[in-house]
Chains A and B, each alone.
Chain A
Amino acid sequence: MRPLLRFWPDLRSRIGVYILVLVLTLLANGIQLVVPMITGYIIDGPIAHRDLSALWLPVLGVLAIGVAEAVGMWARRMIVAPVVSGWEIMWRSRLFDRLQYTSVAIHDSWESGQLLSRAVNDLSQMRRFFAFGLPFLLSTPIVILVGTVMLSILQPVFGLIMIAMAVPTIVSVSIFERRYRETSRRSQDTIGEITTEVEESIQGIRILKSFGRSPWAAERFSLVSQKFKGLEIRKAKLDSWFWSVLLLLPTLAQAAIVGVGTWGVVQGWTTIGTVVAGVTISMVLRMPIEMLGFLLADALMSLTAATRYWEVIDIRHDITDTDGSVDDDPDVGSYRGALEFDSVDFHFADTDRLTLHGLDLRIEPGQTLALVGATGSGKTTLASLVPRLQDVTAGAVRIDGVDIRDMPVNELRHLVSVSFEDPILFSASVAENVEMGAPGSDEDEIWTALEIASAKDFVSRLPEGLGTRVGEQGLSLSGGQRQRLALARAVIGRPRILVLDDPLSAVDVDTEDRVQRALREILPDSTTLIIAHRPSTAALADVVAVLDEGRIAALGTHEQLLESSPLYRELMGASAKAEAHTTDAHSWEGGRR
C-alpha cells in the first residue's frame, strides 16, 4: 500500500475538495437506502388511506432527494474532474523533471518505452483511481459495515451470518490479491516493452526496410504483444474467479438469512418482519460487495502503477550541484578556460573494467587539442566528462583549477558547449535549434554561427530559411546537414570551452577544413577539444593527443607525432606503404569552389 500512501501530500493539498467528494459519494450510497423507505411510507400511508393532502409533503421529499441526488452526482464529478486531471499532469511533470536531470548513464540503462509507459499509461490509471476507485473504495466498506451493523442490531444472528461470509471473502481476496498484483505488474511492464518495440521499429525503419526485415520486427512485436495478451487474459481469468465469488457469497448469505430466519421464527426467537427487513438490507448490501471486486482489481492496478511511478521518482540524481539539487540558472563566473584532466579514471557503473585509467591531460586557454584514438578507445567517454554528462570515478576534471564537481552543473554547461557525434536536433525551426546554444542571440549571430559551421549556404536554400522546421517533426536533412546545424549550436555565443565529438564525420573533408579554419579565426579564445579521425583535422590543431588503453599514449603536434608515434601514424593511415591512399583528400565539394 505504501506506494499509494506516498501520494498523501498531494491528496492533503486538496483535502477539502477531496473530502467533499468522499462525502458526496457516501451520501449517494446513503440516499439509495432512504428513498425506498419514503416511497414505502407513501404507499402504506397517504395512498392506502386515499389521502391526497397528506401526499404532497413526502412527494416533495422524494423530489427534493431525487434532485439532490442528481445534483450531488453532478457536483461530485464536476469537482473531481479538474482535481484528478490536474494531478495527472502534475505527476507527469514531476516524472519528466526527474528524468530531465537524471544522468545519461541511468537513462541508457532504461528502455525508452518503460519510461513512456509510466508517464502515460500508469498515470492515466492513477487518475481514474483517484477519481472513482478510491472514493468508492473508501465509502463502500463503510456502507457494508453500516449494513452489517444494522443487520446485527436487527438480529445478531444475521450479523453473524454476514461475518461468516466475510471469512471466505477475505480468503479469496488474499489469494486474488497476490496473484493479481503479480500479473498486473508483469502486464504493465509488458506495456513498456510493447512501447519500446514500437519505438524501435519506427526509429530503425530505414534498416528494417533496407534489409527487408519488417517481418522480423513484426515477429518480435508479435511476441511481446502475445505476452501482453496472455497476461491480460490471465487477469481476466483471475477477475472471473474473484468476481463470481463476490457475486455468489452475498446471495448465499441471503439464502442463509431466509433459512436461519425461518428456523428462528419457528423457534420463536425472531419474527417474520425481522426476516423480511434482514433480507431487504442484505439485498442493498449486494451491490457494494459485488463492486468491491472491481474496486480491488482497480486498486491493485493502481498500486502497480504507483510503484512504477515511484521507481522513476526515486532515481537518485548523481550529477548535481554541491547541495544535491540542480540550479537552472546559476551565476556564471569568469573563467580563462584552462581544461585539465587529473589522474582521471572512469568505468561504467555495471562493470569494473576501466574505460579511462589514470588519464592526465591539460588544454591551455584558447588552445585547440585534437584527440585521436581507435574506434572504441573511449574518446566519446572522455568528451562526455567535460559537461558532466558522466562523472569521473576517480581523479578530477578541472577548469582553471576548479574541480567541475564543485561548480553548479549549469554554470559548467554554460561554459562548455558540446557537439555530439550523433547530432540531436529538436522539432523546431533551424533558428530555434541554433539559438539553443546561446538563448537570446539575434539573427546576425545565428547567421555567423551557421557560417562558421559551413551551413549558411544550405540553410539559406531551405524552403523557409531560418524558419524551416527540422527535427523529427520537420524536414529531414542529411547527416552532414544535421551535424553542421548541431555544430552551429555549439559555437554560437562563443563558449569558453568547446567540446566537439567528431562533429563533422558525415561531412566532406574540405568542409571540415573550412570549418576548422573558421573556428580558429572567429573563436580564437575558446579552448577546444576536438575528436578527430582525419589527418587534416589533427594537422590544424595546436596539440594532438593519442588515446589508447584508457590513457594518453602520446602528446605533441601533428608533425611531432608523425615522427615519434607509430600508433599515431597507423591511426592517421600514414604508417603503411605508399599506397596508403586511405589518407584523406580534398573532396568534390571543395574542388568546386
Chain B
Amino acid sequence: MSIPRLDRDDEVDELPPDIAAKARALLKSLVRPHLAMAIFLALIVVLTALMLVIGPVFIADALDQGIPRAVDGDTGPLITAVSLFIASAVASAVLAFTSTRLVGITAQKILFTLRERVFTHVQRLDLGYHEKSTSGRLVSRQTSDMESVQQFLSYSLFDTALALLQMIFIAVTLIVLDIPLAIVVFAGFIPLFFITKAAHSTQRNAYRRTRTSIAKVIVHFVETMGGIRAVQAYRRQPERRGTLSDQDSRYRDANTDALRGVAWFAGWTRLIGNVTQTVIIVVGAWLVIEGWTQIGVLAAFILYLRRFYGPLDELVQAFNLYQSASAALEKIAAVLDTDPEVIPPSQPHSLPAQDSGQASGRSVDLTHVRFSYGDGPDVLPRFDLRIPAGQIVALVGATGAGKSTLVKLVTRFYDPTEGRITIDEVDLRDLDDAQLRSHVVMVTQESFLFAGTIADNIRIGNPEAGDDEVIAAAKAVGLDGFIRRLPEGYATDVKKRGGRLSSGQRQLVSFARVFLADPDVVVLDEATAHLDIPSERLVQNALATVLEGRTAIIIAHRLSTVEIADRVLVMDAGRIIEDGTPADLIAGTGKFAQLHRAWKDSLV
C-alpha cells in the first residue's frame, strides 16, 4: 500500500547546542540559595574525611602501644587510645547522621524548587507550544528526569566530595611518606585522565540516549492509556505492544550501553589502581633493598594505596550518576529555556474601573489584525472589528473560516502577527495576565475535569466562591439535580466512586464555571455540542440572563444560538462577509438569509 508513513524517528525535542552550559547554569542557580548550607556541608565533609583517616591511627596505637603496656600493667595508654577511638567513632556517626539528614533535606528542597519552576514555566508557555508538544514528554521531564537528578543530588554529591577529599588527604600523606613512590602513584593518573575524558563523552552520549528514549516510551504509554477505549475497540493491542517494544528496545540498548560504559570505566580504573600497586611493590622493594626507603614506609604506603584507590570506585559511580543527571538536567533546562511567545507585559496596564454593581461589559477592538500560525499562510489576512461594550456577537462560518483563531486572539492564547487587539482601549499585550483572565473568559470545546470533587471543578471559575455560589451556578445551568443524586453530592470525587460524568454533564460543568467567573467578556467556542436540546435550551436561557450587560463572542454552529445575539458576523476565509443584526440579515438577501430560510423549512 502506498500510504505515506511517518518517520518514527522524528526527534521532536532536539536540544540546543549550548544546552550543557545552560544545564550547568541551571544547577548553579539551584544551589546558590543553599550556599550557606553547602559551606556547612563542606565543613562536615572535611571533618568526616578527617575522622576516616584518624580513626585507624588510634586503633593502631592501641595495638602497637596500648596492649603491650597494658600487659605490663600500665592500662593508661590503652584506655586513652581506645577512648579516642570510640570518640572518633561516635564523632563519625554523628557526622554521618548530620550529613545524611542535611544532604537529604537540601536535595529535596532543591528538587522541590526545580519541580515548581518547571511546572510554572510550563504553565506560562503559550498554547502554540502546547499544541506542538505532548503531555507525555513534559511528564517525563517531571518524573523520570527528576528521578535522575534526585539520584545524583541525594546519593552522590556528598560522597563525591568526601571521596575527593579523602584522596587528597591520602595523597598528601603519600608525598610526606616517600616522594619517589608518590610519583609512581601519580603517574597512574595520566592514563586515568584520558580514560575519564573518553568516558565523559561516551557516557554523556549514552545517557542522553536513555533520556530521549525513555521519554518516547512515556509518550507512548500515556497515549495508549489515555486512548484505551479506542485501543480496545479497534484491537490495536498488538500494534501498540509492537511500538512499545520498539521504543523500549532502544531504551534498553541505550541503558545497556550506559551500564557497559560504567563497566569499562570501572574496570580500567580498578586495573590502573591494581597495576600501580604492583609497580609500587616492585619499585618499593628495590628502593628498600637498595636502602633508599625504609621497610615500614613501604608497608604504610601499600596500606594507604589501597585506601587511596578505594574512593575511586565511588567516584566512578558518582561520575555516572552525574552524567545521567546532567543528561536529565539538560532536558529540563531545554524546557525552561523555551520562551513563551505570548509574553506578559513588563509594565502592565489596568483596565479602567467600572461602576460597581453596574455591569456593562467591555468594548473589544481588532485593528488591522493579521495572523498566521508560524510561517504558515495567513488565517486572518487583514481584520478589523469593533465590538461595543455589552454586545453579544455570534460568529458563523464554515470550518477553517477563522472563527476559532479569532477567539484565540481575543483571549490572547496567541498574539496577532500584525495589528493590535484592545479591550476598553488597552492593548491585550499590555494587560496584566491575571486581570486579563478575570475579565475575559473562554469556554472551550473540550470540557476537562480535574481530579477532585465536583464542587472544586466548578470552583475553577472562581476559587474564592462559597458553597452557595457554587450551587447557584450549578442550578443556573441545570446541573444541581444531577449532582444531588450523586453519592456524595457536591463532594463527590469526579474520578472516583459514582462520579462519572457524561460529556454533556461535563459541558454543563464548564458553563457553571463561567457563571462563577463573572467576566466582562465571555467567549464561547462551540460549547453546547454535547447537550441534548432541552439542556441546551436551559443553558441558552441561562446564558441570555448571564450575558446581560457583558460582551460576548459566541461561535455558533446552530442558528438557535444566534437567537440570543445582538449581532451576527458571517466569516469566510478569514474575512467578515456579512455583519448585522439577526433581523437585518434575515431580511436581506445574503448567505445568512438563505440559511435562515432553509432552517425555517426544516422545523418539525
* A472/B604 contact (C-beta < 8 A), A428-B6, A440-B1, A467-B6 known: no
B32 CB contacts on chain A under 8 angstroms: none
* A413/B233 contact (C-beta < 8 A), A198-B139, A265-B70, A328-B238 known: yes
A245 CB contacts on chain B under 8 angstroms: 93
**Chain B residue nearest to A28 in the complex (CB):** B270
Cα A412 to Cα B433 with chains together (Å): 52
105-136 of chain A: CB within 8 A of chain B: 107-109, 111-113, 115-117, 119-121, 124, 127, 131
What's the nearest-Cβ distance from chain A to residue B400, in Å? 7
B260 at the interface (CB under 8 A from A): yes
B111 CB contacts on chain A under 8 angstroms: 229
A427 at the interface (CB under 8 A from B): yes
**CB <8 Å contact, B598 and A202:** no
B196 at the interface (CB under 8 A from A): no
**Chain B residue nearest to A534 in the complex (CB):** B533
Cα A32 to Cα B139 with chains together (Å): 44
What's the nearest-Cβ distance from chain B to residue A121, in Å? 6
**Mask of B267-310 contacts with A, CB within 8 angstroms, 1/0:** 11011011101100110111011000001001100110010000
Partner of B123, one of A71, A208, A420, A472: A208
Cα A82 to Cα B253 with chains together (Å): 8
A564 at the interface (CB under 8 A from B): no
Partner of B234, one of A104, A437, A570, A573: A437
* A207/B224 contact (C-beta < 8 A), A255-B89, A432-B3 known: no
B94 at the interface (CB under 8 A from A): yes
Cα A534 to Cα B461 with chains together (Å): 30
**CB <8 Å contact, B398 and A589:** yes
Cα A262 to Cα B444 with chains together (Å): 84
| Majority SS at the chain A contact face | helix
Cα A67 to Cα B105 with chains together (Å): 41
**CB <8 Å contact, A74 and B267:** yes
Cα A200 to Cα B267 with chains together (Å): 45
What's the nearest-Cβ distance from chain B to residue A318, in Å? 13
B-contacting 9-mer, from A3-11, A42-50, A394-402: A42-50
**Mask of A367-392 contacts with B, CB within 8 angstroms, 1/0:** 00000111110011000100101000
B68 CB contacts on chain A under 8 angstroms: 272
A172 at the interface (CB under 8 A from B): no
Cα A112 to Cα B529 with chains together (Å): 27
B124 CB contacts on chain A under 8 angstroms: 214
A196 CB contacts on chain B under 8 angstroms: 451
446-477 of chain A: CB within 8 A of chain B: 446, 458, 461, 464-467, 469, 471-473, 476
Cα A79 to Cα B108 with chains together (Å): 34
A473 CB contacts on chain B under 8 angstroms: 12, 134, 219
**Mask of B358-369 contacts with A, CB within 8 angstroms, 1/0:** 000000000000
A150 at the interface (CB under 8 A from B): no
* A258/B62 contact (C-beta < 8 A), A121-B143, A582-B536 known: yes
A-contacting 9-mer, from B174-182, B240-248, B384-392, B466-474: B240-248
Name the residue in A48, A88, A221, A467 with the highest tally of chain B Cβ atoms < 10 Å from its Cβ: A221
* A99/B89 contact (C-beta < 8 A), A198-B139, A262-B66, A508-B557 known: no
A393 at the interface (CB under 8 A from B): no
A97 CB contacts on chain B under 8 angstroms: 237, 241
* A116/B139 contact (C-beta < 8 A), A265-B70, A479-B529 known: yes
A/B pair count, beta carbons within 8 Å: 569
**CB <8 Å contact, A211 and B441:** yes
Cα A92 to Cα B246 with chains together (Å): 13
B460 at the interface (CB under 8 A from A): yes
**CB <8 Å contact, A210 and B123:** no
B207 at the interface (CB under 8 A from A): no
**Chain B residue nearest to A504 in the complex (CB):** B529
B303 CB contacts on chain A under 8 angstroms: 36
**CB <8 Å contact, A232 and B234:** no
**Mask of B444-484 contacts with A, CB within 8 angstroms, 1/0:** 11111011000000001101000000000000000000100
Cα A222 to Cα B448 with chains together (Å): 21
**Chain B residue nearest to A102 in the complex (CB):** B228
Name the residue in B123, B135, B232, B448 with the highest tally of chain A Cβ atoms < 10 Å from its Cβ: B232
**CB <8 Å contact, B267 and A241:** no
**Chain B residue nearest to A79 in the complex (CB):** B263
**CB <8 Å contact, B127 and A205:** yes
Cα A107 to Cα B285 with chains together (Å): 72
**CB <8 Å contact, A119 and B221:** yes
Cα A229 to Cα B114 with chains together (Å): 12
**CB <8 Å contact, A107 and B225:** yes
**CB <8 Å contact, B63 and A77:** no
B274 CB contacts on chain A under 8 angstroms: 62-63, 65-67, 69-70
* A573/B533 contact (C-beta < 8 A), A202-B122, A202-B135, A376-B504 known: yes
**CB <8 Å contact, A479 and B534:** no
A65 CB contacts on chain B under 8 angstroms: 274
* A583/B560 contact (C-beta < 8 A), A47-B288, A100-B224, A426-B227 known: yes
What's the nearest-Cβ distance from chain B to residue A512, in Å? 10
Name the residue in B136, B221, B505 with the highest tally of chain A Cβ atoms < 10 Å from its Cβ: B221
**Chain B residue nearest to A584 in the complex (CB):** B558
B20 at the interface (CB under 8 A from A): no
B71 at the interface (CB under 8 A from A): yes
What's the nearest-Cβ distance from chain A to residue B275, in Å? 6
B-contacting 9-mer, from A156-164, A246-254, A337-345, A358-366: A246-254
B354 at the interface (CB under 8 A from A): no
B267 CB contacts on chain A under 8 angstroms: 70-71, 73-74, 77
Q: How many residues of B contact A (CB 8 A)?
A: 194
**CB <8 Å contact, B89 and A251:** yes
B12 CB contacts on chain A under 8 angstroms: 473
What's the nearest-Cβ distance from chain A to residue B66, in Å? 7
B119 at the interface (CB under 8 A from A): yes
Cα A202 to Cα B237 with chains together (Å): 26
What's the nearest-Cβ distance from chain A to residue B351, in Å? 14
**CB <8 Å contact, B446 and A111:** no
B583 at the interface (CB under 8 A from A): no
* A85/B66 contact (C-beta < 8 A), A374-B535, A380-B503 known: no
399-456 of chain B: CB within 8 A of chain A: 399-400, 404, 411, 413, 433-434, 436-438, 441-448, 450-451
**CB <8 Å contact, A376 and B505:** yes
What's the nearest-Cβ distance from chain B to residue A228, in Å? 8
**Mask of A263-290 contacts with B, CB within 8 angstroms, 1/0:** 0011000001001100100010000000
Name the residue in A97, A210, A427 with the highest tally of chain B Cβ atoms < 10 Å from its Cβ: A210
* A225/B93 contact (C-beta < 8 A), A533-B533, A581-B560, A588-B397 known: no
B123 CB contacts on chain A under 8 angstroms: 201, 205, 208, 214, 217-218
* A592/B66 contact (C-beta < 8 A), A85-B255, A533-B532 known: no
Cα A379 to Cα B504 with chains together (Å): 11
**Chain A residue nearest to B502 in the complex (CB):** A376
Partner of B244, one of A62, A96, A376: A96
495-554 of chain A: CB within 8 A of chain B: 502, 505-509, 533-536
A587 at the interface (CB under 8 A from B): yes
**CB <8 Å contact, A195 and B142:** yes
B22 at the interface (CB under 8 A from A): no
**Chain B residue nearest to A473 in the complex (CB):** B134
A421 at the interface (CB under 8 A from B): yes
* A85/B116 contact (C-beta < 8 A), A265-B70, A591-B598, A592-B398 known: no
A429 CB contacts on chain B under 8 angstroms: 3-6
What are the nearest 6 A-B pairs in CB distance?
Answer: A236-B104, A212-B437, A585-B599, A66-B274, A74-B267, A467-B4
* 6 more CB-based (< 8 A) A-B contacts, given A472-B135, A585-B596: A62-B278, A195-B143, A232-B104, A275-B63, A431-B4, A506-B526
Listed A/B pairs (21) with beta-carbon separation below 8 Å: A39-B281, A69-B270, A99-B225, A115-B221, A195-B139, A195-B143, A236-B104, A275-B63, A328-B237, A328-B238, A376-B505, A384-B229, A389-B233, A420-B229, A421-B503, A426-B227, A426-B230, A432-B3, A582-B536, A585-B595, A588-B592
